[in-house]
């Protein structure tokens, strides 16, 4: 598999694949979710699926649970910047923003009790949500400015995505899909605020993620021919979710196929 998580491994892969498309992947669990049996089983994240293509060499620094804001602050920011300045990449893959919205001490902050109004729209703290989206949007602009200013390869392109409309469920993370070891992300907060109707729960998630997609589209418009957002919303079938916020291997393969097309488009326009 032509992907690695360390600089030495990346250089070794390049020596064996000198004509490959050079990719740096920075992001969250959609780039780093573990295989069902940890080291075995089908590819279980976007990077693993893309790495099946021998003409991609991927240096992945993605980590489960990473927030977009954390990736562009502190040590992570400096490490990202250093990689841009010491390695030549053709594509920067970036996956961020999901954990900033659905994370603990975030998602519940955006919800009022369901009794707050006659319609579910009345029960969303829109100002708080927009404040968070302002932050995420600024992170994407920070990514772009750093890529433009520090990249060794001035023709590098950035490719990202806007997730999909996850389905609230009491199912959390399960080791080997058998042993529950983590709580779900969305369902407990929705229940706590008395959002008990399944259709309303889905509508709340769609509302938030569509606003997120609008922000990414706005950043994309600021950096034409440099940033390419893959529209992945509305892609997955209901049986292609492994848990609330992570697709199954088949679901990730479907998402990765769309991102692959975007990478090829970015390379062609470059």
Least-confidence region, from 7-11, 40-44, 257-261: 40-44
- Per-residue pLDDT tens digits for 219-254: 999 999 999 999 999 999 999 998 889 999 999 999
Give the integer Cα–Cα distance in Å for 170 and 160: 28
Q: Give me the pLDDT at residue 181, please.
A: 47
- What is the pTM for the complete model shown? 0.93
Question: For the packed helices 198-222 and 126-150, what is the interaxial angle rounded to 10 degrees?
Answer: 30
Residue 175 scores a pLDDT above 80: no
Distance CA 236, CA 207 (A): 17
Mean of the per-residue pLDDT values of the chain: 92
Give the residue-averaged pLDDT of 1-10. Answer: 86
Give the C-alpha separation, 117 to 134, whole Å. Answer: 26
Question: What are the extents of the domains in the chain?
Answer: 3-269
pLDDT digits (tens, 9 = 90+) for 44-66: 899 999 999 999 999 999 998 89
Whether residue 179 has pLDDT greater than 50: no
CB under 8 A, 24+ apart: contacts of 68-73: 68/28, 68/96, 68/97, 68/99, 68/100, 68/135, 68/136, 68/139, 68/140, 69/100, 69/135, 69/136, 69/139, 71/26, 71/27, 71/96, 71/139, 71/143, 72/139, 72/142, 72/143, 72/146
Residue 174 has pLDDT above 60, yes or no: no
Q: What is the CATH number of domain 3-269?
A: 3.40.50.1110
């Amino acid at each position: 598999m032509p992907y690695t998580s360390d600089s030495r491994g990346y250089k070794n892969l390049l020596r064996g694949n000198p004509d490959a498309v050079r990719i740096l992947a920075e992001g969250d669990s959609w780039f780093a979710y573990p295989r069902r049996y940890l080291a075995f089983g089908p590819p279980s994240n976007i990077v693993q699926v893309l790495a099946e293509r021998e003409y991609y060499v991927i240096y992945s620094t993605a980590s489960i649970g990473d927030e977009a804001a954390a990736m562009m602050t502190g040590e992570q920011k400096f490490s990202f910047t250093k990689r841009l300045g010491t390695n030549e990449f053709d594509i920067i893959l970036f996956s961020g923003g999901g954990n900033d919205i659905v994370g603990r001490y975030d998602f519940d902050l955006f919800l009022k009790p369901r009794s707050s109004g006659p319609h579910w729209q009345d029960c969303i703290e829109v100002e708080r949500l927009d404040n968070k989206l302002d932050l995420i949007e600024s992170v994407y602009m920070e990514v772009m400015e750093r890529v433009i200013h520090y990249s060794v390869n001035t023709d590098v392109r950035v490719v990202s995505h806007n997730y999909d409309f996850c389905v609230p469920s009491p199912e959390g993370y399960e080791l080997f899909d058998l042993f529950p070891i983590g709580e779900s992300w969305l369902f407990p907060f929705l229940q706590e605020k008395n959002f008990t109707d399944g259709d309303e729960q889905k509508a709340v998630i769609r509302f938030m993620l569509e606003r997120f997609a609008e922000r990414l589209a706005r950043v994309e418009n600021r950096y034409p021919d440099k940033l390419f957002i893959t529209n992945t919303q509305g892609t997955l079938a209901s049986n292609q979710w492994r848990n609330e916020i992570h697709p199954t291997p088949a679901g990730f393969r479907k998402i990765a196929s769309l991102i692959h097309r975007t990478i090829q488009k970015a390379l062609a326009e470059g």
